[in-house]
Amino acid sequence: MRRTTSLLSSAKEFLVEALANYKDRKRQFAIVHAVTATELVLKERLLRVNPALIFRNIDSPRLTNEQTIALAQIPQRLANLGMSLDTAEAVLIRTFAGWRNQIVHHMPVFDPKVADQQLPQLLDTLALFLRRDLSTPLETFLPKQLYPVVLGLLKDWKRVVQAAEAGARKEGGVLRDACPQCGGISVMCLRGDGRVYCHLCAAGHYRYDRCDECGRQTVSTFSAFDTGNFCDDCIEAAGDRYIQQLIDIERGK
């Protein structure tokens, strides 16, 4: 059981890094981390059938000393076990496995534009595999601060957002504001106690009120103050002004 937890937790760390690097346009790092996350998740699927299956030579008398199976060979092993990947998925995984080897061991020769087009496909395949074969939906696998990154990037995530939108509509009182935590739009509801609940990230500690500073009625993460009610943007701006004043005082202005 420890090895199962270790594989998935490691895969999560690499997936988080892949998404962060994708956001920052660090293509090669994004590819390396995304491919490693995919390899760990696929090996997790093999391990759940039998721990021996993650090794290259399962007939070795010293199994624990064997190297684990290469990523490019995993689709065929899954197929031999009756768990075939879609043909396009298998080809995509083998392609990215080759690209990772180029990045790590050689000079990359793949087309950057093709890589940019296909990286979201690999991430979407990974998300689908997590949900379908490991009963681990992406929304339970990712930190909430990365929700805005996958929004509009992954087809699998669109289904998550659509379900959240449906939940909000069913409850009623839907707000069009973006959730301060996950960035989801039309997924928050104004409840009877004046609090706001997000059906995408399950955050329920927000409020919906009019700001005394800018006059906007918006969702805010801060509780009301005795001296007035201020939105997140105005409180952040006030904090920036205060810091700038401290800097100016330090500089003798």
Judged against a pLDDT cut of 70, whether residue 29 lies above it is answered with yes
Query: 3-state SS of the chain?
Result: CHHHHHHHHHHHHHHHHHHHHHHCCCHHHHHHHHHHHHHHHHHHHHHHHCHHHHECCCCCCCHHHCCECCHHHHHHHHHHCCCCCCHHHHHHHHHHHHHHHHHHHCCCCCCHHHHHHHHHHHHHHHHHHHHHHCCCCHHHHCCHHHHHHHCCCCHHHHHHHHHHHHHHHHHCCEECCECCCCCCECCEEECCCCEEEECCCCCCCEEEEECCCCCCEEEECCCCECCECCCHHHHHHHHHHHHHHHHHHHCCC
d(CA 68, CA 13): 20
Count of other CB atoms within 10 angstroms of residue 10: 16
d(CA 30, CA 103): 11
Judged against a pLDDT cut of 50, whether residue 221 lies above it is answered with yes
Give the tens place of pLDDT for each residue, 70-92: 888 888 899 999 888 888 888 88
- Cα–Cα distances in angstroms (integers) from residue 10 to residues 37, 200, 234, in the given order: 7, 25, 39
Contact criterion met (CB below 8 Å) for 145 and 34:
no
Judged against a pLDDT cut of 90, whether residue 252 lies above it is answered with no
For range 3-28, the mean pLDDT: 83
Residue 4 pLDDT grade (very low, low, confident, very high; cuts 50, 70, 90) = very low
Instruction: For the chain, give every domain's residue range.
Output: 2-142, 156-249
d(CA 169, CA 166): 5
Contact criterion met (CB below 8 Å) for 99 and 115:
yes
| Terminal-to-terminal C-alpha distance of the chain | 62
Structure tokens that stand for 8 in this block: 């998935």
Give the tens place of pLDDT for each residue, 167-217: 999 989 888 887 877 777 888 998 877 788 888 887 776 778 777 777 777
Q: Which fold has domain 2-142?
A: Four Helix Bundle (Hemerythrin (Met), subunit A) (1.20.120)
Query: What pLDDT score does 155 carry?
Result: 75
d(CA 6, CA 68): 15
pTM of structure: 0.66
How many residues appear in the chain?
253
